[in-house]
Homo-oligomer: A and B are copies of this chain.
């Protein structure tokens, strides 16, 4: 099945690209530039497309950044340290981001003759992000079937929607994903900071998956303290 993958350059979506290249016919990677701080993430998405031998489409969404304001990913709000908690995650949201990215992905799929659009939304994001839940992805797929009725048969693939990030690490490792060539940190420094929500979550996922983490962290031990503070070991 000819499949377009929405790929940010993060651990989840680069793993999805590798899995899709092995199990389906990967046609292209599509990435979005909202004027985020971590442009580095986009570079890793492009590197994945070169590695996998497919076109890379970077969609420039900076024009709507000013209107979609209020997000830590695009504005000058400090990114909070520590494991995700509800309030800290809320400020990292670009409003309605998944609906926007997926609808553009489906438009590209129509134009290019793809049969599926795949996204790496996963179970770990359910608590905070409604647009990562199965109720959303099912409703989105139904909406697209109505929108393209008679024009195209394109399905939404969400293989991780019921999985944890640790399970993504396990599957990604099985399909040879070079995890060092993926980017999670919200702070966008030279190396992963090791302290922000996504760094802690990334570190924890490797730990739970029992997979060696090749990532260089500026503060490699912070995550254990953060977990301890949550009452975990």
Contact = CB atoms under 8 A, between A and B. Distances in A.
Contact of A143 (B68, B111, B136, B149): B136
B149 A135 contact: yes
Interface in A81-105: 94-100, 102-104
A228 interface: no
A57 B68 CA distance: 11
A69 to B, nearest CB: 6
A92 to B, nearest CB: 13
B139 A142 contact: yes
Contact of A98 (B130, B131, B147): B147
A111 B66 CA distance: 10
How big is chain A's contact interface, by range?
A: 35 or more
Nearest to A132: B147
Given A96-B147, A142-B143, A67 B108 contact: yes
A94 B107 contact: yes
A231 interface: no
A107 B104 CA distance: 14
A186 interface: no
Given A63-B60, A140-B143, A147-B131, A99 B94 contact: no
A51 to B, nearest CB: 21
Contacts of A139: 139, 142-143, 145-147
Interface string A145-176: 11111111000000000000000000000000
A191 interface: no
6 contacts: A68-B111, A95-B152, A99-B103, A99-B144, A130-B151, A139-B147
Interface of A: 57, 59-61, 63-64, 67-70, 94-100, 102-104, 106-108, 110-112, 130-131, 133, 135-136, 138-140, 142-152
